[in-house]
Structure 1
Amino acid sequence: MIEKLKNKEPRISEKIREIFQQSYKIEAEILEATDFPPLKRTLENFINSDTEFYAYIKNNKFAGVIEIDKKPNYVHIQSLVVNPLNFRQGIASELMNFTLNHFKSKLFVVETGYKNEPASNLYRNFGFIEVKQWETDFNIRKVKFELLKK
């Protein structure tokens, strides 16, 4: 089941931050990143964020969370994380399906680390096309994908 989260509630944001930490720790390892900004995200950042968070709930716990930033002309998938205990169970795909069907936008944008093949493959499987690559200030190569719905 997917539900919208009330991230302004500290207790909810604590749970969001916990799954982000678990998932991004694995991504940092995949990217061989020694300095990974998503792991530095504070609880206050989650509480004060104007983005929308949706969780895939499994056994009354957050198995995955997607963070959405609605822009005037597109939807930016800010983050998509899955609890490592729930990897390879289709949760990221469920969250992507939900997002692409729930938000009425023609353009969807997402970024990930270049070496994060599971994420890149997920986005490609949904029809996203790579539009840009660049090196960050943290020595992490990133890739940007876009999906233009008809």
Structure 2
Amino acid sequence: MEKDNNLDVRVPMIKIIDISNRKNAEDLLNVQIPSYKVEAEIIGSYEIPPLKDTVYTLQHCDETFFGYYENKQLCGAISIKVIDDEVDIHRLIVHPNHFRKGIAQLLLNFIGNKFRLETIKVSTGSKNAPAVSFYNKNGFQNIKEVMVNKQLSIILFEKKL
């Protein structure tokens, strides 16, 4: 248990996830799959690539992962790739048991503060109203919409810093 000022207060924290560690990759999948199942329900398509991830695919995706932990339990995570002066967010996930606690906002703020680059990019399902609203609220601009198939389209967002 993390303590703050000798009080019996559990301090949440964000730290890098060593995805090469199998247990960490399993913990991440245990957050990612339920999180993306909720998105799949919202957008009406289960053809979301992260729903097909395995420990192996996570360990070989070349993304950097940061996790939000409470009491040493992973509750949410964000993954990025940094290319030149851009941060590309590949995943921003929160376990459904921890929805509406501000965890996604904390993770997004963490990336914005840690990587002070020119641009942050992210995409989400066009029908995922909560995510679209979240990115709009955080100053992201809708760059374009891409049709994946008849049922699925994604919105590409960008935020200039």
Shared fold per TM-score greater than 0.5: yes
SS at match of 2:159: strand
| TM-score, normalised relative to structure 2 | 0.88
| Partners of 2:140 and 2:47 in 1: CA distance | 28
- State the partner residue of 1:148: 160
Number of residue pairs matched? 149
Match of 2:48 among 22, 27, 36: 36
Q: Is the 8 A contact 1:36 1:138 kept in 2?
A: no
Q: Is the 8 A contact 1:51 1:69 kept in 2?
A: yes
Question: Cα deviation per residue 1:50-108 (whole Å; 9 max; x = unaligned)?
Answer: 21100110122111100011111311011100000000110000001001010121100
- State the partner residue of 1:17: 29
Identical amino acids, percent of aligned pairs: 34
Distance 1:49 1:138, change over 3 A: farther
| Partners of 1:50 and 1:138 in 2: CA distance | 30
- State the partner residue of 1:72: 84
| Partners of 1:36 and 1:13 in 2: CA distance | 19
Match of 1:6 among 18, 24, 43: 18
Letter in 2 for 1:95: L
> Are 1:95 and 2:107 matched, yes or no?
yes
Distance 1:71 1:138, change over 3 A: farther
Question: Cα deviation per residue 1:14-38 (whole Å; 9 max; x = unaligned)?
Answer: 1111111010011000010043322
| Partners of 1:143 and 1:79 in 2: CA distance | 14
| Partners of 1:61 and 1:22 in 2: CA distance | 15
- Answer with 1 or 2: which has the greater Rg: 2
* Displacement after TM superposition at 1:138 (Å): 7.3
- State the partner residue of 1:104: 116
| Partners of 1:5 and 1:36 in 2: CA distance | 23
Give the RMSD, CA atoms, in angstroms: 1.2
Unaligned runs of 5+ in 2: 1-12
- State the partner residue of 1:126: 138
Unaligned runs of 5+ in 1: none
| TM-score, normalised relative to structure 1 | 0.95
